[in-house]
Amino acid sequence: MFKKRFFALLLAAGMLVLPFAAGCEEQKQEPPGPQVQQPEPEDPDKEPDKEPDKEPDKEPDKEPDKEPDKEPDKEPDKEPEDVFVLTLGQERYLLAIVDGAKTADIGAVLERNGEAFDGEITYTLSDTEIASVSGGTLTAVAVGKTTLTATYTPEKGEAVTDTAAVEVLAETTSKSVNALEEESVNLLGRTYLSRKRLVLDNPCTGVEVAFIGTKLSVRFFTPGSYISVFTDGGEEVRIKTQKGVIKVAEGLEEGLHLVRIVKSVGPSFGTIQLEASPFETDGIFLAAPEKPELKIEFIGDSITAGIGASGTNPSELGTMENSDSALTYAYLTAQNLGADYSIIALSGICVKDGNTNMYDKYTVTGFNNSAEYDFSEFDADIVVLALGENDMWHATSSQFPNYSVELFQKDYADMLRLIREKRPTAHIICIYGMMPASSTAQTKQIITAAIKDTGDENISQKQMMSNAQGGNQHPSAAAHKQNAKTLTNHIQSLLK
């Protein structure tokens, strides 16, 4: 079952009422018989009757001129009502009780019929003890969270609104941030420490750091891999790591900034390690904002790891340069939903077939760390299982004579049972079809049967779009984006 705070599923039903009419036939009556008048006897002395003088022929009387038929009076055409759209400048505003970060411009945009419109917008806050608002400016009052609501009421029609989260961050120390203390930084995914170094193993494992200043530097221990950097929720900046200091964000406007750093390749390309005490800024550090409540775990193979996602030639091999896990359906779905996430994925992996398989690796910290994973570290509300591409290849190819579709169905059901054991309340979504091998009707039948074998009613399934136009005949960035939209819509339907 879903957690109550997320999952109240609504069921709507409709009834079609078919009206019918009944009538009775009228009884027929016989028409009355004809009436006959008897002629009077003729007088012989009488002159024959003359025809009366006729008046000159007259034109037959004309009916008085009629006014031409008039169309029924129509209501005068009404002018279409204006359509207003109000959008706040951000989905989340971050403030701090520190000069340089105490205030923030809201930057709301009001449009009428698709064009900018200058109308009076009113603002309210759910908790004025956390922040205040005046004239389109937010001001921090105390550490905490509140909700901003913007409203515009036109002269005609209904009011339009938009809402955003407002969070006031606390100041923290460089020591706390560099010790990776939970109250000061946000760790993303199955990260772990080795000799006090933060290790990024799985796709999109990473860290979020908040600060007031103009730049942030990070010291790396391992060279030759790739990270993706997102500053203040902006566009991805991809950087190749090197041993030593890398300026992950610089030249920023003086103020409050939130920087997210994630590993943008899968574990088949090794790990990325940050040095002990890796972070430095020209200003002061702030405690990172609270993580989102909604938590989604993704389990997958090379598709989820982002192999070939930034490539444009299917014939090229999957390399670090054309692979980007931050472009995958998994990372994008989490961002679409504003969710916290954890991703575990490896190229070529099957559910249970092979020496390295997901059934074994799901319960350990990483592909390069065999320590038992503590599932309480990430209490997932939703688990997305995206395996089957390699399994179907093994099950239907003569290269793997010891594997079959029957074994795949059994293995898949076992994987679902393992997930349920570790995630007793999470809703599990089985997705498939993102590449040709798993886009067949047979794959759907196997997964459907495996779900039925478990008897678990808290599982759904969704077929995705198949695509092999990225690097190494893997899904392209555009295909990942479309599949992220499909999965986002499915999850949103579950959260209603």
417 and 365 inside one domain: yes
Segment 23-76, tens digit of pLDDT: 333 333 333 333 333 334 444 344 444 444 444 444 445 455 555 555 556 666
358 and 444 inside one domain: yes
375 backbone dihedrals φ, ψ, rounded to 5°: -65, -15
Give the pLDDT score at 76. 61
In a domain, 9, yes or no: no
Give the pLDDT score at 116. 96
Q: Which two tokens stand for residue 118?
A: 């200058």
Give the pLDDT score at 80. 75
In a domain, 331, yes or no: yes
Q: Which domain holds residue 398?
A: 295-495
Q: Give the 3-state DSSP-derived string for the chain, with helices as H, strands as E and coil as C.
A: CCCCCCCCCCCCCCCCCCCCCCCCCCCCCCCCCCCCCCCCCCCCCCCCCCCCCCCCCCCCCCCCCCCCCCCCCCCCCCCCCCCEEEECCCCEEEEECCCCCCEEECCCEEEECCEECCCCCEEEECCCCCEEEECCEEEECCCEEEEEEEEECCCCCCCEEEEEEEEEECECCHHHHHCCCCCCCEEECCCEEECCEEEECCCCCEEEEEEEECCEEEEECCCCCEEEEEECCCCCEEEECCCEEEEEECCCCCEEEEEEEEECCCHHHCCEEEEEEEEEECCEEECCCCCCCCEEEEEECHHHHCCCCCCCCCCCCCCCCCCCHHHCHHHHHHHHCCCEEEEEECCCCECCCCCCEHHHHCCEEECCEEEECCHHHCCCCEEEEECCHHHHHHHHCCCCCCCCHHHHHHHHHHHHHHHHHHCCCCEEEEEECCCHHHCCHHHHHHHHHHHHHHCCCCEEEEECCCCCCCHHHCCCHHHHHHHHHHHHHHHHHHHC
380 and 485 inside one domain: yes
Q: Please, is 349 exposed, middle or buried when counting C-beta atoms within 10 Å of its C-beta (0-12, 13-18, 19+)?
A: buried
Q: Using N-to-C axis directions, what is the helix angle for 441-454 and 405-422, rounded to 10°?
A: 50
Strands, sheet with 216-220, edge to edge from the N-terminal-most edge strand? 192-194, 197-200, 272-281, 216-220, 244-249
462 and 394 inside one domain: yes
338 and 462 inside one domain: yes
Give the pLDDT score at 349. 98
Which CATH number do you get for residue 153? 2.60.40.1080
Predicted TM-score of the model (pTM): 0.83
In a domain, 12, yes or no: no
Domain-ending residue, one of 127, 144, 169: 169
Strands, sheet with 122-125, edge to edge from the N-terminal-most edge strand? 92-96, 160-169, 144-152, 122-125
Segment 440-483, tens digit of pLDDT: 999 999 999 999 999 999 999 999 999 999 999 999 999 999 99
232 and 310 inside one domain: no
Closest CA to 232 of 206, 258, 255, 250: 258
In a domain, 242, yes or no: yes
Domain-ending residue, one of 217, 251, 286: 286
Q: Which two tokens stand for residue 465?
A: 């779009």
CA end-to-end span of the chain: 14
Beta bridge partners of 169: 96
225 and 308 inside one domain: no
Give the pLDDT score at 99. 86
In a domain, 54, yes or no: no
From CA 415, how far away is CA 422, in angstroms rounded? 11
Domain-ending residue, one of 263, 286, 309: 286
Which CATH number do you get for residue 275? 2.60.120.260
Counted domains in the chain: 3
249 and 344 inside one domain: no
Are residues 110 and 121 in contact, defined by beta-carbon separation less than 8 angstroms?
Answer: yes
Pairing of strands 459-463, 427-432: parallel
Give the pLDDT score at 48. 45
Give the pLDDT score at 335. 97
In a domain, 260, yes or no: yes
Segment 372-395, tens digit of pLDDT: 999 999 999 999 999 999 999 999
278 and 304 inside one domain: no
Residue in the structure block whose two tokens are 């018989």:
33
252 and 202 inside one domain: yes
- Angle, vertex CA 162, rays to CA 161 and CA 167, nearest 5: 140
Are residues 205 and 188 in contact, defined by beta-carbon separation less than 8 angstroms?
Answer: yes
Are residues 366 and 202 in contact, defined by beta-carbon separation less than 8 angstroms?
Answer: yes
Query: Under 8 Å CB-to-CB from 6, ≥6 apart: which residues?
Result: 293, 294, 381, 495
In a domain, 24, yes or no: no
Are residues 93 and 165 in contact, defined by beta-carbon separation less than 8 angstroms?
Answer: yes
464 and 373 inside one domain: yes
Residues of the chain with pLDDT under 70: 1-79
At position 479, the amino acid (one-letter code) is A
Pairing of strands 340-345, 226-231: unpaired
Which CATH number do you get for residue 335? 3.40.50.1110
466 and 399 inside one domain: yes
Give the pLDDT score at 100. 86
For residue 155, how many C-alpha atoms fall within 13 Å in the half-sphere facing its CB?
Answer: 3
In a domain, 36, yes or no: no
